[in-house]
Amino acid sequence: MSGLAPYAAAPEQSRGRRHQEAPPTGRSEFQRDRDRIIHCNAFRLLEYKTQVFINHEGDLFRTRLTHSIEVAQIARSLARNLGLHEDLIEAISLAHDLGHTPFGHAGQDELNACMHEFAPEAGGFEHNLQSLRVVDELEERYAAFNGLNLCFETREGILKHCSARAARELGEIGERFLLKRQPSLEAQIANLADEIAYNNHDIDDGLRSGLISIEQLQMLEIFATHYAQVMGKYRNLERRRAIAETIRAMINTLIIDLTQTTQQNIQKHRPQSPDEVRQCPPLAAFSLPMRAQADALKRFLLENLYRHHRVIRMTTKARRIVRELFIAYRNEPRLLSTEYRRTDPTAQARAIADYIAGMTDRFAIKEHRELFQMGSNL
């Protein structure tokens, strides 16, 4: 890929894979990673996993799959602006949610609670670590190794955060958390592209659902400014187009601000290689005024959308499904296929977590119904 900045990751200088392989023909190491992610089972299952609204609540609401594709599009635009490696940043973006549970964060929170309650020595459950576990161990596609055997740089980008205990267990890939260092700039940008995507697209889904209103959103500077610009330019624009144009403009403003602020940070610290990026403080950032506006938007969504009583009712049901499935499998492992049965209780709890985390929303609902309702597939 031409036009790479000196601080960009380069596939020919990759730190390599966990299992040695012959180099690819006709594509780079980072292209191979992206292709493996797109073709894996966990990526396809994201189509039926919750973003905010459970999959069956409407065909136009975003899922983990559409969210991941949107993150990748935003991240590639930013990579091009900054001279970063587009294939690497796309691979990180597409893989960042592979470990997500059914029912979004409600499913993750309940699975984590179950792991702490019934197997405290196992270390809980966190979807970010689970995404790494999927690509390192759980995918079963290749004869020579478990997982997808991705490059260090892709795995580094997937692992956005972890505890000191987990970092020690992960070895080289977790070392930066112990040394207080940063990941590659591709990883930093993918993380902020994720934030841009979910904040803005959750507005769209929230308005579509009727749980939040344009009037409420106009209390926020970032929305009010762009909405006024759109309506000033297109005075009689219908509501759906006005919302789309406003969100489009907000995303563009955030991308421009992130690009310019990151360029200023690069100029200040002048890293000349990916390893020098890792030694610097975080380089990818919004300006302070834009950071404040983005944080205000996040707080608004938390209070008015994610904690809306209709969403809470849905997440309460979802948490109950996850908990009851976990307890049923723990109490009677023979409910599981043999590949998920273990003799050690801690290993059994982790296998149950792997199984539940891999479920789609609709499969978890179906499985719960079959286990707990008489007359279901007896």
Q: Is residue 340 situated within a structural domain? A: no
Q: Is residue 377 situated within a structural domain? A: no
Q: What is the pLDDT of residue 60?
A: 59
242: domain CATH number?
1.10.3210.10
Q: Domain of 98? A: 28-311
Catalogue the long-range contacts made by 312-319 (C-beta closer than 8 Å, 24 or more residues apart): 314/53, 314/54, 314/57, 314/106, 315/103, 315/104, 315/106, 316/106, 318/50, 318/54, 318/102, 318/103, 318/104, 318/106, 318/107, 318/110, 319/103, 319/106, 319/107, 319/109, 319/110
Q: Is residue 354 situated within a structural domain? A: no
Q: What is the pLDDT of residue 374?
A: 73
Domain count for the chain:
1
Q: Is residue 375 situated within a structural domain? A: no
Q: Is residue 372 situated within a structural domain? A: no
* CA pair distance 174, 177, nearest whole angstrom: 6
Q: Is residue 203 situated within a structural domain? A: yes
Q: Is residue 357 situated within a structural domain? A: no
Q: What is the pLDDT of residue 1?
A: 57
Q: What is the pLDDT along the chain (378 residues), one digit of tens a residue?
A: 568 999 999 999 999 999 999 999 999 999 999 999 999 999 999 999 877 655 555 555 778 999 999 999 999 999 999 999 999 999 999 999 999 999 988 999 999 999 999 999 998 999 999 999 999 999 999 999 999 999 999 999 999 988 898 999 999 999 999 999 999 999 999 999 999 999 998 899 899 889 999 999 999 999 999 999 999 999 999 999 999 999 999 999 999 999 999 999 999 999 999 999 999 999 999 999 999 999 999 999 999 998 899 989 999 999 999 999 999 999 999 999 999 999 999 999 999 999 999 999 999 999 999 999 876 555
Q: Is residue 235 situated within a structural domain? A: yes
